[in-house]
Structure formats: structure tokens, C-alpha cells
Amino acid sequence: MRTVTMTVALLLFWTVVVPPEGWVDVLVGVVASLALAVWAARFLWPHAGPHHTSLHVARLPGFALLTGQRIVVAALQVLRIVFDPRLPIEPSVIRQTVHFDEEAARVLYANAITITPGTLTVDVDGDTVIVHALDPELARDVVDGTLARDVARLFERRAGS
């Protein structure tokens, strides 16, 4: 099941990165996605058992929209900084403690920070995340806990589970 899920996820990613213009593009995407998923299952996770997560898939589109909005706003802020002749940056390293019950939530949190312009996840060690920010304003959602709450909402336990 993990190989099928990974194949579908990789194929979706492929269609975003390389918008198919014909059946050949789709076929190449399917073959490449399947080959990578099989390779990963065999060599990266040979002893991994079934993976269960409490991720609410229905909440992913909303999270993706929020993340997209954060990326656009941060990109504009970085552009403003870069084009200012004074280059008004205040680099900072932020140590943030966040608790997630699942490793997948920690990974999503760290990646959401890294894909946002002006911020970079430097290290994740248990519940401690170290973030580098070009400017403190760019890391506002990290510092005030907004991003952590958004990620936690994706993985909230369902009633009765």
C-alpha cells in the first residue's frame, strides 16, 4: 500500500512540475513515479511496516492555500529587502519548541518553514526546531505558533481514535 501511495504522490508532484502535454508525458511520469516508489520501498525502507497517520486529507487543500499565501507574502517581503539599497536584514536564529505526536507532522512543519522565502529549518531534534530567518518578521508565524497550530490541526486525533 505504501508503494501505491508513494506512486500516486510522486505522480501528482510530477504533473505539477512537468505539466503533461500529451500521453507520452503522462506515461513517463507514471513509469518514473512507480520506479522511484519501488526503489524507495526496497532500499530506503526495506523493514518498514505499514504506516498509519492521523492526517486529515480533507484539510490539506486549506493548509496548502495558507502555505501558498505565506510563501507569496514572504516572497514579497524578501523582494522588498533585496531591492532596498540599505539591505535592511536582521538575520536571526530561532530555537522553537513544538510538540507533535507524529513524525510526519514534524517533517511537514520543518518543510513548511523551509519552503517559505527568508526562513530555513536548520535542525530538528525531537521537539526542538532551529530556524534561520533573514528578518524576524519573516518568522512571525513560527515564533507566535501559528504555523505549528496549522500543522497540528492537520493531525488532530479524530473522536474515538
**Position 160 pLDDT exceeds 80:** no
Amino acid identity of residue 125, one-letter, is D
List pLDDT tens digits, range 116-130.
999 999 999 999 999
Q: Quick: pLDDT tens for 100-111.
A: 988 888 989 999
The per-residue pLDDT for range 32-74, each reduced to its tens digit, is 999 998 988 888 776 666 556 677 778 888 898 999 999 999 9
Q: What pTM does this model have?
A: 0.70
Q: In whole angstroms, give the CA distance from residue 27 to residue 33.
A: 10
Residue pair 7/37 in contact by the 8 Å Cβ criterion: yes
- Which residue type occupies 5? T
